[in-house]
Amino acid sequence: MMEANVTNAKTLAADQRKPLFDRPLINALPVEHLCDLSIDLELGQVISTPLGTRLTYVVKGGRFEGPRFRGEMLPGGGDWVSLGADGISRMDVRATMRTHDGVLIHYDSHGVLRYPPDGRQRLAKGERISFDESYVRPTPRFETSDERYTWLCGMVTVGYGEYGQGRIDHRMFSIL
């Protein structure tokens, strides 16, 4: 038994010297601009819970525009944010998009957002928190069975954003 353990340890040590990936490291993911998205929100509902603060924002409407599709965000979706003790907000967005040609697309996005220390107070005063001052990274997914837009369903999408009082703006990219 001891001999098998020594052999396994030698094999493991040799394997650890081999690279984990055969290709060289790339410094940037290949991406393509998907769309810019702007959502207008109702005033947030703040709920303290034992797990942290919950913030609920109801979608009033909005719009999106990109090289391959454009349209509006329909009222009634929402963003159910969990604000942790670490100051990081975890997004949970669900909404409906309607394209310029009438197709409904389910929009589902998670992600994280971190404001500067005074960010929430500045938002409450009506200020906008810029991309350079915050870390807003949505990871949306899309669902539709309309053949004109099923290409959206099979991609990984990431973005960055900015927030203002009652409004979020995200720039979205598909990873190629």
In angstroms, how far is CA 131 from the centroid of its own chain? 14
Topology (CATH level 3) of domain 29-175: Porin (2.40.160)
Residue type, 52: G
Q: What's the pTM?
A: 0.84
Q: Tens of pLDDT along 136-160?
A: 999 999 999 999 999 999 999 999 9
Measured CA to CA, the distance from residue 60 to residue 119 in angstroms comes to 23
What string of H, E and C letters represents the secondary structure of 110-169? EEEEECCCCHHHHHHCCCCECHHHCEEEEEEEEECCCCCCHHHHHCCEEEEEEEECCEEE
pLDDT at 19: 77
Angle at 34 between CA 158 and CA 171, to 5 degrees: 60
Q: Tens of pLDDT along 58-103?
A: 999 999 999 999 999 999 999 999 999 898 999 999 999 999 999 9
